[in-house]
Structure 1
Amino acid sequence: MAYRHGIEVTEKETSFPSPMSTKYGVQVIFGTAPVNQAKNPYASVNKPVKVTTFEEAEINLGYSEDWKTYTLCQSMYASFKLFQISPVVFVNVLDPKKHRKDIEAKSYEVKNHQAVVKTTGFLLDELTVKTQNADAHVGEARIGEAVTGGESVTLTADTDYIAEFDEYGYLVITVLSAGKAYEATQITVSGKVIAPEMVTEEDVIGSYDAATGAETGMEVLRQVYPKFGLIPSMLLAPGWSQKPNIGAALQGKCEDISGAFRSMCLLDLDTALAKKYTDCEKIKADMGYNEEHSIVLWPELQMKGKVYSYSAVYGAMMSYHTALNNDVPYIYPSNKDLNVDGAVLEDGTEILLDQIQAGFLNGAGIVTAFNDLSWKAYGNNTGCYPENTDPKDRWIGCRRMFDYVSNYFVVAYRKKLDGNMNRRLVDDIVNSFNIWGNSLTANGMCAGIYAEYRPEENTVEDVLAGHLKLRIYFAPYTPAEYINATMEFDVAALEGVMA
């Protein structure tokens, strides 16, 4: 070690806080990722991938700043950098074996033993790199043009060269000193690249192959709990959910997940159609976004020039506040910071709503963004409002709490299944549930919750069939959505100071 005497300062990359962890606020996100950059491009296709850090997401799925093309990346950024929340489950539907195209051979200049191919999406295992034979004529192809002839030598990966991706997803080829192209001034590159533009709505919605048992797209959702022991709490497809077919599929997946669980889905309105707040009610109706498990969002959001689908940010924010509050989703997401600096349409037009305009959207069952010293989510109604005014369905907080209690009951008492059905079993379930419920009430998470067993509802036929029926009574809090104070002139006070 060198002898040191003096003072110095060193720098390291900016690090982000360790993500908060949630069990009852888990996002399951469907879309596309630049998997050609992943450690194994073929291992993360139509499979649930659980990640806990941005770096882990990058390794398993790849990352790109092109969020419109690679839609999962905006949720990676929102979840791990805007809000620091984990885990997140991603389902990438871009299949490198299916969504791919050929790239013809082109010539690239080698400078300092390195060439940069400014084309994204290359699959490294399909890459062909060649150089001119030392005895052949050079310069048959101009830099960047297609190669039409001339003798060439095919180079071997990791022997003659190393291929990597830079921060823009471009291919960087470094020729090795021990290889046969170290002194080359020009190489030709060809191969296959992923083609995200080939991904269709059908790929995202997915299917089940009865012959093989293979599941794709949203059909993969049922694998999340058996694979990871995580309950899907929010389903979203940023960059896709503004399409009615995708939204309908998400709404249809919110109940009976893995035969037992319930979740919410986050749906974006198409800002290319809904260009002003008065357009949104009709667009929402036309798209059929009217289910009690849906949260309908408008417009898009931006932060430092990056544009997000609202669902990507809202999902991360809602997950974060669930974890922040003892992993119980009793806090309403409305009036919570979005950690962004603007709201925009698809074409970049800025959206600035006042309280009346935002309230108009809320009355149509749409959550919007409102700038009140900072940008915040604004709205408490699910997509079923105003057609459905049942408080357990219309209020986002109530709906989430009903889902939460239902999911908790399934997980907590699944271990009681197949036990002897006697009063001891019944009392164990009812008493332990009520102790848990009392803790929620005591901590201000609900107004009250309890379970009871009614003998008259458990007939001899039910008992003989092995069926046990219980009742749960639950009162989550509704939001203080409107606060009114009446003011009047206090004449007596004025008379008192004038006397």
Structure 2
Amino acid sequence: MARHGSRVTEKPTSLSAPVVATATLPVVFGTAPINLAETLENVNKPVLAYSFSEFAKALGYSDNWKDYTLCEMADAAFRQCNVGPIVFVNVLDPEKHKENKQESIEVTNKKAVIETEGILLQSLEISNADNKLESDKDYIASLNEDGRVVIAFLIEKVTTVNVKYDHLKPDAIKNNHIIGGYDIDTGKSTGLELLNSVFPKLSMVPGLVLAPKFSKDPTVASVMKAKASSINTYFKAQALDDVDTLDANTYTKVNEWKNKNSYTGSNEVVCWPLAGIGDKVYHMSTHIACRIMKTAYDNGDYPHESPSNKPLPMTKLLVETKDGHEEIDLSPDQAELLNNQGITTAINFIGGWRAWGNYTGAFPASTDVKDMFIPVRITHNWLGNTIILTTWDKVDGPIGRRLIDNVLDTMNMWMNGLQSEGVLIGGRVEFREEDNPITDLLSGKIRFRYAVAEPTPAQDIENILEFDASYYKSLFISE
């Protein structure tokens, strides 16, 4: 058919937009009061929460952080620092980690309270003398704000009842439950093995890996580092671990403990001691993770700035004792010593309580700039993850100038943008002939070379103060 007039046809854009990886998404492993949640199904599953209410609905909440460690992170992130989202993995299974109990309780004004924590409401059985009572007919049972079961009786003349129930047993969770594994028979993963399930399920790349309370165990910490270094084979994240403050209860003992237990990974942030607000006690890894998230958020979700010397919501430093916790003091020179040993801490010096420390666990043994500084290592991880996400759709495409130029143009423009934002000092992508021999091209292998320079933290600012006697000459100048 003959055409007459002016026409426009659209062509797909040759320049692709980079798919940005979540720079500092934390994945936190631990225990939750699942009996207080809307469902008991969130066991050994990655659960994404953007707010405190989402966390409480999915996993329950309790101020008993000793038994329910995920609640510590939920409080710090959503209540104290106002950051998110966070992925939580609860390993406390109400089908396995429970205990049966029977007791007699008194009824006052047709009401009674069972003081045991962690009761699975659906397991509750109540009898009066030899008669078993029926729910919603003889009584109504519910959970109060403290997670205790409150029973309101609908029948008369009840003074004492016998109750039987199952309750959660959080102390049954050991380090091996956090480590987890893969069950060949069921095809299901548990614990840290679920780090590989986060991206396939949520389409979000893990940036930080935590296990408050449990990460002070060297076996757990070593598995955290190993899993974080190879997520889904391709991605990398940073592990945040805590030093055992019961053993290393003074700053002089921390470095020996760190080296003895191999907390020396480049993809590891080693934290000491504990942080407190009132009666609440946080692991330092929890606070540092939230500070890393908050700093990235303040920079447009770019992770290049160090969390060090940024405010922390805390009022004291603590170490664990056999009887509880003890408050300690840490001077700037002591904190500097810890920093130079690759340990991150907090100080109260100028501007209130602040995170203090730029080095990963690899320092001082490693002085490779990409491995020694926390923000550089996290940014390096993020760059690598983003490169994978962006170039993945080129896999299996025909090798030719169109594919090569698309990758070069897309990634160079992205890096130019990062440079203008201050995320990089500089960066470029090249397709070199020496990196791509004909034999590799014939085998379907193609290589791009990325060169980047992230900004290092200005952790040592020297101001030279000199007495200048020449200013005395001004005394002889008449007006």
TM-score (norm 2): 0.92
Query: Does residue 61 in structure 1 map to residue 63 in structure 2?
Result: no
TM-fit CA distance, 1:114? 1.9
State how far apart, in whole Å, the 2-side matches of 1:472 and 1:297 are: 32
Measured against aligned partners, the alpha-carbon deviations of 1:168-222 in whole angstroms (never above 9, x if no partner) come to: 221111224xxxx354233221111111111111111001112221111101110
Query: Does residue 490 in structure 1 map to residue 468 in structure 2?
Result: yes
Aligned twin of 2:106:
109
Give the letter aligned to residue 355 of structure 1.
Answer: P
State how far apart, in whole Å, the 1-side matches of 2:298 and 2:109 are: 51
State how far apart, in whole Å, the 1-side matches of 2:25 and 2:142 are: 33
| Residues 462 and 158 (structure 1), Cα distance of their counterparts in 2 relative to 1, 3 Å cut | farther
Measured against aligned partners, the alpha-carbon deviations of 1:121-178 in whole angstroms (never above 9, x if no partner) come to: 111121111223xxxxxxxxxxxxxxxxxx2x222233332222222221111224xx
Aligned twin of 1:166:
144
Aligned twin of 2:12:
none
Matched residue SS, 1:346: strand
Within 5 Å, which residues of 2 pair with 1:341-420?
A: 341-347=315-321, 348-372=325-349, 373-420=351-398
Query: Does residue 432 in structure 1 map to residue 430 in structure 2?
Result: no
Aligned twin of 2:50:
52
State how far apart, in whole Å, the 2-side matches of 1:257 and 1:168 are: 38
Task: Between 106-115 and 43-52, report the one with greater CA deviation.
Answer: 106-115
CA contact (8 A) 2:275 2:284 kept: yes
Measured against aligned partners, the alpha-carbon deviations of 1:386-422 in whole angstroms (never above 9, x if no partner) come to: 0000000001111011101001111122122221111
State how far apart, in whole Å, the 2-side matches of 1:52 and 1:185 are: 45
State how far apart, in whole Å, the 1-side matches of 2:161 and 2:318 are: 44
The partner residue of 2:70 within 64, 69, 72 is 72
State how far apart, in whole Å, the 1-side matches of 2:462 and 2:36 are: 55
Give the letter aligned to residue 39 of structure 2.
Answer: N
The partner residue of 1:254 within 228, 232, 239 is 228
Aligned twin of 2:190:
216
Within 5 Å, which residues of 2 pair with 1:94-133?
A: 94-104=92-102, 106-132=103-129
Give the letter aligned to residue 360 of structure 1.
Answer: L
Give the letter aligned to residue 331 of structure 2.
Answer: D
Task: Between 456-465 and 235-244, report the one with greater CA deviation.
Answer: 456-465
Q: Pairwise CA RMSD of aligned residues?
A: 1.4
Give the letter aligned to residue 304 of structure 1.
Answer: G
The partner residue of 2:265 within 273, 288, 291 is 291
Matched residue SS, 2:113: strand
TM-fit CA distance, 1:450? 1.1
TM-fit CA distance, 1:277? 0.7
Query: Does residue 25 in structure 1 map to residue 2 in structure 2?
Result: no
The partner residue of 1:83 within 81, 84, 97 is 81
Give the letter aligned to residue 460 of structure 1.
Answer: I
TM-fit CA distance, 1:437? 0.5
Aligned twin of 2:13:
none
State how far apart, in whole Å, the 2-side matches of 1:266 and 1:175 are: 49
| Residues 226 and 279 (structure 1), Cα distance of their counterparts in 2 relative to 1, 3 Å cut | same
The partner residue of 1:453 within 414, 431, 445 is 431
Query: Does residue 477 in structure 1 map to residue 477 in structure 2?
Result: no
CA contact (8 A) 1:69 1:197 kept: yes
TM-fit CA distance, 1:240? 0.8
Measured against aligned partners, the alpha-carbon deviations of 1:287-328 in whole angstroms (never above 9, x if no partner) come to: 110010000000000012200111111112211221221111
CA contact (8 A) 2:113 2:151 kept: yes
State how far apart, in whole Å, the 2-side matches of 1:271 and 1:182 are: 54
Matched residue SS, 1:314: helix
CA contact (8 A) 1:225 1:232 kept: yes
Give the letter aligned to residue 408 of structure 2.
Answer: V
Aligned twin of 2:443:
465
Measured against aligned partners, the alpha-carbon deviations of 1:371-400 in whole angstroms (never above 9, x if no partner) come to: 123111100000000000000000111101
Gaps of 5+ in 2: 1-20
Matched residue SS, 1:252: helix
State how far apart, in whole Å, the 1-side matches of 2:213 and 2:152 are: 35
Query: Does residue 37 in structure 1 map to residue 69 in structure 2?
Result: no
State how far apart, in whole Å, the 2-side matches of 1:183 and 1:465 are: 85
Gaps of 5+ in 1: 1-21, 133-150
Aligned twin of 1:237:
211
| Residues 492 and 433 (structure 1), Cα distance of their counterparts in 2 relative to 1, 3 Å cut | same
State how far apart, in whole Å, the 1-side matches of 2:475 and 2:72 are: 61
Matched residue SS, 2:328: coil
Matched residue SS, 1:101: strand
The partner residue of 2:180 within 201, 206, 211 is 206
State how far apart, in whole Å, the 2-side matches of 1:309 and 1:156 are: 44
Residues paired across the two proteins, number: 453
Query: Does residue 156 in structure 1 map to residue 111 in structure 2?
Result: no
The partner residue of 1:269 within 221, 224, 243 is 243
CA contact (8 A) 1:54 1:80 kept: yes
TM-fit CA distance, 1:338? 1.0
CA contact (8 A) 1:352 1:371 kept: no
CA contact (8 A) 1:338 1:377 kept: yes
Matched residue SS, 1:332: coil
CA contact (8 A) 2:305 2:457 kept: no
Give the letter aligned to residue 23 of structure 2.
Answer: Y
TM-fit CA distance, 1:459? 1.8
CA contact (8 A) 2:318 2:326 kept: yes
Within 5 Å, which residues of 2 pair with 1:127-146?
A: 127-132=124-129
TM-fit CA distance, 1:275? 1.1
Measured against aligned partners, the alpha-carbon deviations of 1:51-93 in whole angstroms (never above 9, x if no partner) come to: 1111111111111111111111100100100111121111111
Measured against aligned partners, the alpha-carbon deviations of 1:242-285 in whole angstroms (never above 9, x if no partner) come to: 11111111111112201211000001001101111111100001
Matched residue SS, 1:90: strand
TM-score (norm 1): 0.88
| Residues 230 and 159 (structure 1), Cα distance of their counterparts in 2 relative to 1, 3 Å cut | farther
